[in-house]
Amino acid sequence: MELSKIDLNLLVPLQALLEEANVTRAGDRVNMGQSSMSSALSRLRTTFDDELLVRMGRDYELTPLAKLLLPQVQATLPLIEQVLGSGEPFDPCATSRSYRLLMTDYVMLELKSRLAQVLEVGVNLRIEILPLPDNPLDSEHSMTMNDFVIAEPGIGIDGASSELFTDEYVCLMDAHNPVAAQGEITWDQLAQLPYAVCDFGSHHLTPPERKMRELGLAYAPQISTSSFLSLPQVIGGTDLVAVVPSRLAQRLGAATGTVAVSLAEQRINLVNTLFWHPAHDSDPSHLWLRYALQHRDQPVPTCWPLQGVPETEN
């Protein structure tokens, strides 16, 4: 395919179409009407001799070629913008960029103040917070369709990564539970108690669940939720217990009548990790938000790159 025959103006709608997999949302994102976006899709289909988006019920799916194109477009567009911008810095205060972040509600609670600070700087940007992918093993799809996944390592997410913050798992129970008076609980004791769990899907296996399997301990949760934040409410006033991040127990314990009890014998750390697709490494807007999330003890940068800070810093 000769470059001279390609309309480079189609690259922006192409990225939007591939990331949104929806003509209407893609048009809204780049301020194009639906008819204009449909026309752009038609021209792109002719250019690539491929449907790119195929309708599946009410939704669209990317064709195999489109899935190959997406990370390439994500890597190429920032480079083109840098060339055309003659090295002008990214302006967070003026950007209308949309970011997609996948995380648990517990992580969202920990990051909410920082995200509020980000929005104070980028008053026109948008942040969409989504749940963790149903199948972490399909992380290539999650990485290319979203900006960041924040999760524990070892569950199948693959990509560039950086540690964001650490925590520790504790056992959460009602403050009046007799076991709470012991101050700590063994894994054998935990396996004998009525159990509540946050279940993110059959493909997710948390470190506490892996630990219980390693010890050969069988457990059958009596209550399953899809939210960490609901567990303290569920457990308060009952005999149920759950294994949750310590920061969550500290934040919500007093309001729900629950307490954190240390896990004896072998404690399990929780390393919340920021994952992204390497295709984003040259995107200044992506680098800026990544830096803001990684350096929460510093003010959110009002320009990028920062003087003396490498753009590729992880």
What CATH code is carried by the domain that includes residue 26? 1.10.10.10
Residue 112 and residue 191 in one domain:
no
Residues 192-242 pLDDT 10s: 889 998 887 666 667 777 777 777 776 678 999 988 999 999 999 999 999
User: Are 39 and 48 within 8 A, CB to CB?
Assistant: no
Residue 238 pairs with which residues in a beta bridge?
none
Residue 260 and residue 189 in one domain:
yes
Q: What is the mean pLDDT of residues 49-73?
A: 88
pLDDT reading at 16 higher than 70: yes
Q: Does pTM top 0.95 for this prediction?
A: no
Residue 196 and residue 247 in one domain:
yes
Least confident of 10-24, 106-120, 140-154, 259-273: 140-154
Residue 148 and residue 211 in one domain:
no
pLDDT reading at 97 higher than 90: no
SS3 297: coil
- In a domain, residue 307? The reply is no
First vs last Cα of the chain: how many Å apart?
Answer: 35
pLDDT of the residue at 312: 46
- In a domain, residue 194? The reply is yes
Answer with the residue of higher pLDDT: 217 or 31: 31
- Per the prediction, the chain carries an average pLDDT of 85
Residue 73 and residue 11 in one domain:
yes
Residue 277 and residue 152 in one domain:
yes
- Classify strands 160-174 and 258-263 as parallel, antiparallel or unpaired: antiparallel
Q: What percent of the chain has pLDDT over 90?
A: 42
pLDDT reading at 256 higher than 90: yes
User: Which of 115, 233, 225 is CA-nearest to residue 164?
Assistant: 115
pLDDT reading at 280 higher than 90: no
pLDDT of the residue at 150: 93
pLDDT of the residue at 71: 83
Which CATH number does the domain housing residue 131 bear?
3.40.190.10
- In a domain, residue 245? The reply is yes
Residue 174 and residue 230 in one domain:
yes
pLDDT reading at 102 higher than 90: yes
Residue 76 and residue 9 in one domain:
yes
244's CB contacts (< 8 A; 6+ apart) are: 106, 169, 170, 172, 198, 228, 231, 232, 260
Residue 261 and residue 278 in one domain:
no
User: Which of 73, 74, 75, 81 is CA-nearest to residue 44?
Assistant: 73
Residues 157-206 pLDDT 10s: 778 899 999 999 999 999 999 999 988 998 888 888 899 988 876 666 67
User: Which residue is it, tokens 């004896």?
Assistant: 264
Answer with the residue of higher pLDDT: 31 or 101: 101
Domain that includes residue 198, residue range: 165-269
**Number of domains comprising the chain:** 3
Q: What is the mean pLDDT of residues 57-73?
A: 86
User: Which residue is it, tokens 């709470």?
Assistant: 180
pLDDT of the residue at 215: 75
CA torsion sign for 243, 132, 101, 77 is: positive
Give the model's confidence band at 133: pLDDT under 50 very low, under 70 low, under 90 confident, else very high.
Answer: confident
